[in-house]
């Protein structure tokens, strides 16, 4: 059962499991969303334990669609993780950060006067198709059991190997120096932060991801997703009818 804005939640959400389309708020981690949903379900139904998991992490500074699986439907997480993802956002040229996004402070600056639409369009073309991408060191990838970002934040030297990804579509929506508004459709495992960093380098400048929204996962759209508040309200209405 897929639960979105058009769905009616019933008590089978616990017994049979469900797949939720949730709009993740800015600054929340994906774990924050999962934890809030788990606690809301436990409180609403008076249960002590229920499995809840998400099908693809969004960074705290990203917003957008998060697919959350409940109960028996947690066994289907892999099938959602493997779907194409569509994002929109802003890449800011002329600067770099260690995390490749706005989470960390600017570490270097570069000129941007030479960047124009034609240069961007040409550069974007080299990022489409099957490519190798080097993940950011500020990522959850494990190195001998320790997350890469944990080592990076301690000042440890981190080296991650490039990984194969697929960029199905990459579009420049608008460019107003130094900000590029873009949309991108990509495979599982793609780091949009790395795209921002690498595109800045390709343009003989720097770049970091200053805003990001996940707009779709396969056929599932952000516009159909429930906010956390809407989900909690639906649970309250359900339990008031079926105490």
Q: How does DSSP assign 137-185, residue by residue?
A: SSS--EETTEEHHHHHHTT-------EEEEEEEEEEEEEETTEEEEEEE
174 is catalytic: no
Q: How far is CA 82 from the centre of its chain?
A: 14
Question: What are the structure tokens assigned to 24, written together?
Answer: 């993740």
Strand 62-70 vs strand 207-217: parallel, antiparallel, or unpaired?
parallel
- Among candidate residues 4, 10, 59, 215, the one labeled active-site is 59
* Residue 220, both tokens: 């599932």
Among 100, 102, 35, 103, which residue's Cα sits nearest to residue 66?
A: 35
Tell me how long the chain is: 243
Candidates 207, 204, 209, 179; CA nearest to 192 is: 209
Active site residues: 59
């Amino acid at each position: 059962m897929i639960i979105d804005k058009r769905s009616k939640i019933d008590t089978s959400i616990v017994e049979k499991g469900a797949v939720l389309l949730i709009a993740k708020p800015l600054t929340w981690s994906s774990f924050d969303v999962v934890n809030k949903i788990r606690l809301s379900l436990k409180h609403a139904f008076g249960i002590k334990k229920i499995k809840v998991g998400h099908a693809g992490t969004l960074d705290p500074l990203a917003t957008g669609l998060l697919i959350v699986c409940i109960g028996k439907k947690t066994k289907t997480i892999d099938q959602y993780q493997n779907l194409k993802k569509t994002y929109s956002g802003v890449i800011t040229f002329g600067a770099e950060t260690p995390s490749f996004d706005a989470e960390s402070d600017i570490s270097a600056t570069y000129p941007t006067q030479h960047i124009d639409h034609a240069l961007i369009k040409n550069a974007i073309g080299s990022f489409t198709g099957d490519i190798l991408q080097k993940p950011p060191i500020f990522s959850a990838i494990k190195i001998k059991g320790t997350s890469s970002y944990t080592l990076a934040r301690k000042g440890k030297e981190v080296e991650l190997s490039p990984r194969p990804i697929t960029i199905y579509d990459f579009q420049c929506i608008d460019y107003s120096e130094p900000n590029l508004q873009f949309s991108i459709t990509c495979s599982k495992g793609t780091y949009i932060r790395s795209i921002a960093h690498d595109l800045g380098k390709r343009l003989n400048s720097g770049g970091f991801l200053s805003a990001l929204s996940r707009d779709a996962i396969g056929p599932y759209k952000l516009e159909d997703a429930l906010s956390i508040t809407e989900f909690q309200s639906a649970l309250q209405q359900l339990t008031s009818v079926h105490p």
